[in-house]
Amino acid sequence: MSFIVAANWKLNKGPKEAESFFQEFLSGNEALRSEFETLFFVPAVDLVTANAFLEDTPVGWGPQNIYFEDQGAFTGENSPAVMKDIGATHALVGHSERRHIFKEADGDTFLKMKAAIRNDLIPVLCVGETIEERKVGHTFDVLKRQLSGALKEDVTTSLFHVAYEPVWAIGTGEVASPGQVAEAHDFIYSWMAEHCPQAKGSKILYGGSVKPDNAGELSAVDHVGGFLVGGASLKVESFIDILKACR
């Protein structure tokens, strides 16, 4: 299976900007694009546009967050069933901004993983430690807590991916070193081998200030099966340059 390069647009771009991005993205570099599995996690308002451009392509797409119920009195939430209905293929779960700004707990990430799988969406679970947690040597404890909180019961036998995103490297320009990435990915890989041995095909993505100039080196680290890219995914050129660097 090919290396995944996933874009996380966060709260950026409306439908018009999404449209021009996808037009430009799909208009060239076909051979390069076909070597990778590319995904786009777009704001809710761009989901219909994403489907219009991507539905007949191998490019996957989905929301940055889903609710764990399919419908009902949940004002302001995104239904995973509706996401599936409009063509989404994937869903991001437990991004650090959801955990830290919106106070999502490990229990929420488990329910969201289940909701994604129930609706035939492939979830990408984000995990990662804060700088304070790293400084006191708690990185692996945090990863273990976040993994065991979300990956249990029938989730462990389904297809999902995990994105290791150290909170201190997200949007800061401070990228984790290849050694730090190797250590964390190795830990996640071993944890998954022990607790989710039936989850074949799952990849471990790295996220946190991935740019064209560090992507090549990081993509070569053991157990790095893809990237989750924020800032550098907002321009077609830098997103394409990341693919080129990973070749």
Q: Tell me the catalytic residues.
A: 95, 165
Residue closer to ligand PGA by CB (options 137, 243) is 243
Task: Classify strands 37-42 and 4-8 as parallel, antiparallel or unpaired.
Answer: parallel
- What type of residue is 116? A
Residue 103 CB, nearest approach to ligand PGA (Å): 17
Stretch in the footprint of ligand PGA (CB under 6 A) among 30-38, 50-58, 183-191, 224-232: 224-232
Cα angle at 99 between 106 and 86, to 5 degrees? 90
CB of 222 vs ligand PGA, minimal distance in Å: 21
Give residue 101's region: left, alpha or beta (phi > 0; psi -120 to 50): alpha
Q: Which of 4, 151, 230, 236 binds ligand PGA (CB under 6 A)?
A: 230
The SS3 assignment for 216 reads helix
> How is residue 136 annotated by DSSP?
T
Question: Nearer to ligand PGA by C-beta: 25 or 227?
Answer: 227
Residue number of the CB atom closest to ligand PGA: 230
User: At its nearest, how many Å lie between ligand PGA and the CB of residue 170?
Assistant: 4
Binding mask of the shown chain, residues 95 to 134, with x at each position contacting ligand PGA by CB under 6 A: ----------------------------------------
Angstrom distance (rounded) from CA 208 to CA 206: 7
Residues in contact with ligand PGA, shown as a per-residue x/- string from 160 to 199 under the rule CB under 6 A: -----x----xx----------------------------
Helices 212-219, 236-246: crossing angle, 10 deg rounding: 30
Check residue 208 for interaction with ligand PGA (CB under 6 A). Answer: yes
Residue whose CB is less far from ligand PGA, 149 or 231: 231
Q: How far is CA 143 from CA 148, 176, 188, 216, 231, in A?
A: 8, 15, 8, 25, 24
Contact between 83 and 119 (Cβ < 8 Å): yes
Binding site for ligand PGA (CB under 6 A): 8, 165, 170-171, 207-210, 228-232
